[in-house]
Amino acid sequence: MDDARLRQRVKEIAESAENIRDDELFALLDNHIQPFCQIRGLRYDHRNRGGSHHVFTVGTSTFTVAKPHGTSLLKPVYVRSFLDALAEIDLYEQE
DSSP alpha helix (H) spans, the chain? 3-15, 22-28, 34-40, 76-88
| DSSP letter assigned to residue 18 | G
Residue 74 sits in which domain range? 3-88
For β-strands 53-58 and 44-47, DSSP reports them as antiparallel
In a domain, 71, yes or no: yes
pLDDT of residue 21: 96
- Amino acid identity, residue 43? R
What is the distance between the alpha carbons of residues 36 and 40, in angstroms, rounded to a whole number? 7
In a domain, 61, yes or no: yes
Is the pTM for the entire model greater than 0.85? Answer: yes
In a domain, 63, yes or no: yes
In a domain, 82, yes or no: yes
How confident is the model over 70-92, as pLDDT tens digits? 999 999 999 999 999 999 999 99
CB 35, CB 27: distance < 8 Å: no
How confident is the model over 38-58, as pLDDT tens digits? 999 999 999 998 899 999 999
pLDDT of residue 48: 93
